[in-house]
Copies of this chain bind each other. A is one copy, B any other.
């Protein structure tokens, strides 16, 4: 099967509303909503770094788009479409069928059509660029946190890291527990509707991809503030909560791959009624730096840092 057959069979879909031209020309042509800003984000996933070679291709397709939709969610954007650039070592039709099924199912669920991209031969690499819209001045940024704001997080943290530790062989879990945390790692849910509902409510937001400590640090740096974070308040699943305390802290503070939203809002702000639980985990303070405390307010020494692709 050649490159163009591959695109037609697995990735070409009928045009949808708001898309004048989709897959198949030099460019896709999209119809912006009058008055809206155009939001863009791009993520690249590399085998062995962002996913294991053994992962179910449908889950990989889901995750490749989910991590990009999560960036739109963090900015409160409405998804409009995405491009996929794909380097494949060879054409594996079973893999492509699974990958495109997982990818396009999530795309359909969010009304976010695949509008273009590229395919080439090379070491397995997935690069998705996603486009969305938000009303002018309403995109959620990292820079808006103010002293006294409360810090909130969606869902639970740390399951993806716990699953990674099982794959690494440092932790053993019973089958049910493993499948639950494995799904968190391989099939994250982007908080797209929550992000949109936080427009005009949250003062700052981002999605947790490299671990809460580092990602919250980006909000603090961009907003020129500090924070106090209650590690005991950090929401965690029953599976993670059954693990030793030190492992729990590593997973919730520096786990990575969570794709939950962390956001700040003034005390008493009217938070949206969300289908995903929201938990208050700390407060923004004037003093620079991030102070991690336990439920009694005592400082916690954690020695953890965020994930960095090039840190030695």
In the assembled complex, the CB of A72 is this many whole angstroms from the nearest CB of chain B, namely 6
Contacts of A34 in B (CB 8 A): 34
Query: Which residues of B sit under 8 angstroms from A84, Cβ to Cβ?
Result: 42
**A2 touching B86, Cβ below 8 Å:** no
CB distance from A70 to the nearest CB of B (A): 8
Provide the A1-13 mask, 1 if CB < 8 A to any CB of B, else 0. 1111010000000
Majority SS at the chain A contact face: strand
A221-247 at interface with B (beta carbon < 8 Å): 222
| A27 and B139 contact, CB distance less than 8 A | yes
10 A-B pairs whose Cβ atoms sit less than 8 Å apart in the complex: A3-B310, A25-B206, A26-B74, A27-B40, A31-B38, A40-B116, A43-B85, A44-B118, A44-B125, A119-B309
Q: A26-B71, A34-B34 are in contact. List 18 more A-B contacts (CB 8 A).
A: A2-B311, A3-B311, A6-B310, A25-B142, A26-B206, A27-B39, A27-B139, A30-B38, A31-B38, A41-B83, A42-B84, A43-B118, A46-B121, A46-B125, A48-B122, A119-B309, A122-B125, A125-B125
Chain A residues with CB under 8 Å of chain B are: 1-4, 6, 20-21, 24-32, 34, 36-44, 46-50, 71-72, 74-75, 77, 81, 83-88, 90-91, 115-123, 125, 127, 129, 131-132, 134, 136, 139, 141-143, 205-207, 222, 308-311
